[in-house]
Amino acid sequence: ADAWYMDEGQLSCKPEAVDDTLRVLDEELAKAGATRGSGDGAKSVARLVGPDSLVHRYPDGWITPRVRGTCKLPGTGTTIHVLGVDIGTSEARNKQFLRTTEMVEIGRSKISSIGDSATELVLTRQCGDVCKVTHFLRAHGQKLSPSSLNTFDKDLDKSVEVVACGPLTEEALKQAKLGTKQGGLGVRSAVDVALPAFVASRVQ
């Protein structure tokens, strides 16, 4: 097959093998008339990944002229954006999750203005519950702070109360998060899904 477009590809290797790996990759790309870019046009990112205690002490010998000329070098301890998810510090993870939580809440507020409870419930379940943050949960799981997960769930509870046309007790909100076969509304919470989503992604 001919590959005409590739994005977000990732290569992992030992630091001392980076130069050779990039050389071979560039040679094969050149055969197809493609390039990773260089200088200010470089799109590749090269960074050390590992325990902080080792990464910070690792010698810079792996940063050869080829690596420096064709890669961005963000350094250690920095956040990197991969497939829509910020990977790095705890602060970066939670900040991105909370930004998304705010956007989901805006969407839920629009759903709640429809004026038909059945429609609002279906849309909240399909477009406004944990499905909107599953990719974060798969990437980070319980590395997200409990307060961030609870913020998402509290906003979701408010939307369920709007759909139900009134305040609900804590027990009623818990029941709403059960599946429909168990007498619930099938509205899933971030706290409940965080660990299963993370484990499932690792098993895959």
pLDDT class of 4 with cuts at 50, 70, 90:
low
Q: Is 68 exposed, middle or buried (0-12, 13-18, 19+ CB in 10 A)?
A: middle
Question: Are the beta carbons of 188 and 182 closer than 8 angstroms?
Answer: no
Paired sense of beta strands 85-87 and 80-82, if any: antiparallel
The three-class DSSP label of residue 1 is: coil
Question: What's the rounded mean pLDDT across residues 192-198?
Answer: 94
pLDDT of 87 > 90? The answer is no
Residue type at 135? H
Instruction: Provide the mean pLDDT of the chain.
Output: 89
Among the listed ranges 2-11, 78-87, 116-125, 139-148, which one has the minimum average pLDDT value? 2-11
Look at residue 5 in the predicted model and tell me its pLDDT. Answer: 59
Element (H, E) at 44: strand 44-45
Largest pairwise CA distance in the chain: 65
Global pTM?
0.69
Question: Are the beta carbons of 118 and 112 closer than 8 angstroms?
Answer: no
Integer Cα distance of 83 and 182 in angstroms: 35
Q: Which two tokens stand for residue 59?
A: 């010698």
Q: Which two tokens stand for residue 85?
A: 């998810």
Question: What's the rounded mean pLDDT across residues 167-181?
Answer: 90
Question: What's the rounded mean pLDDT across residues 22-26?
Answer: 95
